[in-house]
Amino acid sequence: MQKRRRTRVSTGKEATVEWAGGRLQGGLRDVSLKGAYVWALGEARPAEGEEGTVRIHLDPHNPALDLEIRCRAVRVEGDGVALDFLEVPAEVFPHLLRLVQYNAPDPDGIEEEILAPAFRREDPGGE
């Protein structure tokens, strides 16, 4: 069963993840409107559940264009870390959206994803 509700795309971009205990620089294996996977061999890794910041480098020669997003490590593996975006700033979201759309096989489908909730709402009664 497919649990993801957001299209993940490959971009060829680089990214840096920073958390209280360190820094991981690597390639952005994939990204969606809800998260990303940053791969890097031989680098320090955050612990699962640890919060930090990911910077997606749109242009390695111009840090002013970096997309900075608060995130949490949800899966830590030998070749990288899966991140869940906690808060995408309003000024960053349009750029993230365009990055995903530009690399998606169905760019129009990405805008449709925005209209659908990213999470299933659990029964408020806990049953």
- pLDDT, tens digit, 9 for 90 and up, residues 22-31: 999 999 999 9
Q: Is residue 38 over pLDDT 80?
A: yes
Measuring CA to CA, which residue among 98, 117, 95, 96 is closest to residue 107? Answer: 98
Mean of the pLDDT values across residues 80-103?
96
Q: Helix, strand or coil for residue 88? A: coil
More confident site: 15 or 5 = 15
> Quick one: pLDDT at residue 120?
52
pLDDT band at residue 127 under the 50/70/90 scheme: very low
Question: What is the value of pTM for the model shown?
Answer: 0.85
Q: What is the pLDDT of residue 2?
A: 43
pLDDT at 16: 96
Q: How far apart are CA 24 and CA 126, in angstroms?
A: 38
Coarse DSSP helix, strand, coil percentages of the chain, rounded to the nearest 5 percent = 20, 40, 45
What is the radius of gyration, based on Cα positions, of the chain? 15
